[in-house]
Amino acid sequence: MILPIVAYGDPVLKKKANDIDPQDNSLDLKALIENMFETMYAASGVGLAAPQIGLSLRLFVVDAEPMDEQNLKGFKKVFINPQIIEEQGNAWAFEEGCLSIPHIRENVERLPKIKIKYFDENWQPQEAEYDGMAARVIQHEYDHIEGILFTDHLSSFKKTMLRKRLSSISNGQVKADYKMKFYHKK
């Protein structure tokens, strides 16, 4: 099932998400993961975090194969309750976008190497190291479950430059070629 993607301006995107309880039977995790992949593919994204579909849970999915880079072949993964335990190297900049922030792309500096602990879709504990673009995709999605958006990494000058466009998005004055959900203040 394709779900609407939460747009910039919704407080769920600014909240630190909660760990998923493996004993929680009220959550159909398998269906949720399937829906997240389907939603991500329908929007031509390479990553999607649970807060982006309105769930404040520490879960994200990635499939960066469409980025067509050698080290991203078959890079399709599910990260449950992840924890980045190490980040290192010299920061490098790359233009990022986000399905919650359509039509805006900006350079974001990130460290090139990470070590991450997480559970996979079968609740098997994993620990892995990533670098380059794979690390960046994970860092972007990991930020989402920490309540951080790529725009939060920009200089205050850049943020000021983008303020109008960001408030248009939060007001629903944006066209994306996928379904979005806008937060309306009461």
- Which residues bind to Ni ion, rule: CB under 5 A? 98
- Minimum CB–partner distance for residue 143 and Ni ion (Å): 8
CA-nearest of 106, 116, 96, 3 to 46 is 96
Using the minimum distance from each CB to Ni ion, give the nearer residue, 55 or 98. 98
Residue 122, token pair as written in the block: 């079968």
The single residue of 65, 95, 141, 146 carrying the catalytic annotation is 141
- Minimum CB–partner distance for residue 140 and Ni ion (Å): 6
Residue 147, token pair as written in the block: 């309540």
Q: Which residue is nearest to Ni ion (CB)?
A: 98
- Minimum CB–partner distance for residue 163 and Ni ion (Å): 19
User: Which residues partner with 29 through β-bridges?
Assistant: none
Assess whether 65 carries a catalytic annotation.
no
Q: State the DSSP string of 87-141.
A: EES--EEEEEEETTEEEEEEEEEE-SEEEEEEE-TT--EEEEEEEHHHHHHHHHH
Using the minimum distance from each CB to Ni ion, give the nearer residue, 6 or 98. 98
Using the minimum distance from each CB to Ni ion, give the nearer residue, 40 or 116. 40
Helix (H, G, I), strand (E, B) or coil at 9: coil
Which residues are catalytic, by number?
141
